[in-house]
Homo-oligomer: A and B are copies of this chain.
Amino acid sequence: MPPLAHQPARSNRLGTRGQPEESRAAILRAAAEEFAEHGVAGARTDAIARQAKVNKALLYYYFNDKETLYDAVLDNAFSGLKNVVFRVLDSDLPSREKLLAYVGTYFDFIASNHVYPRLMQREMMRAREGRSAHIDRLIKNYIQPIFVRVGELLHRGIEEGEFRKVDPAHFVPSMVAMIVFYFSSAPVLQRIVGFNPLTPERIAERRAAVLDLISAGLFRQDTRAARGARS
C-alpha cells in the first residue's frame, strides 16, 4: 500500500477504476463496526457492503470470504494494540511507573476506538467454537507476547519488593478484564448507573479508578519508595 495521497482524480461517481485503497479501507472500517456489533455469525455481509458504500462482491474481491475479512479486521486491531503497548514495555522505566504506564496505554488504546473492546471481548469467547488456525495466530502474534512481557514485569517488581506477591497468570487477566469489560458492557452499564459511561469525563474517571485499584492492589506500601500512585 504505497502512500499515494491522491486527492485529484475526482472520481465523481463510482466508476470502475476508482480508489482501491480507499475502498479496501472503507470495507475494513465497516466490517470492524459490524463484527463488533453483531459478532461473526450475526454480521451481515450485505450490511458491511452497504455501510462501506461498495458492492458486496467487492468484499470477496479483496478478501476471500467472511472469515478472512474478520481476520483482517482483528489483525488491524490487535497489531495496533501490540505496537503501542510494546513501546511502553520496551522503555526503561522503573517497575511501578512502567506498570502504570502499561495499564494507562492499554486503557487509552481500548478507549480510543470503541470497536476494539467489543471486538476483543467477542474474540475471547470465540476460541472454543471455531478453533481454526486464525485464533492461534492471533494469540501467538499479539496476545501472548504482551502477556509474557507483562508477566516478566510483574516478576521483576515482586523481586524488587515493589509489588505484592501476586500470581501473574491471574493478575494480568484481571487488569485486562477491568479495562475491556467496562467498555464492552457499556450499554448495560449505562442503564444501571443512569449515565453514559462513554463520555470523555466518565472515561477519565474510569481510567483513574482502574489505576487506583491496581496500584492499591499491587504496590507494597511499606517499601522505601513511598511515592503515591500517579500516572
Q: Measuring CB to CB, which residues of chain A are less than 8 angstroms from any residue of chain B?
A: 37-42, 118, 121-129, 135-136, 139, 143-144, 147, 164, 166-167, 169-171, 173-174, 176-178, 180-182, 184-185, 187-193, 205-206, 209-210, 212-214, 216-218, 221
Contact = CB atoms under 8 A, between A and B. Distances in A.
A174 B213 contact: yes
7 contacts: A124-B188, A125-B184, A143-B188, A164-B216, A170-B209, A176-B181, A216-B217
A211 to B, nearest CB: 11
B170 A205 contact: yes
A127 B216 CA distance: 32
A38 B144 CA distance: 25
A213 B166 contact: yes
A188 B127 contact: yes
B182 A181 contact: no
A139 B188 CA distance: 8
A173 B181 contact: yes
A173 B39 CA distance: 23
A169 B208 CA distance: 13
Nearest to A206: B170
Nearest to A170: B209
Contact of A124 (B41, B123, B136, B184): B184
Nearest to A169: B193
Contacts of A193: 147, 169
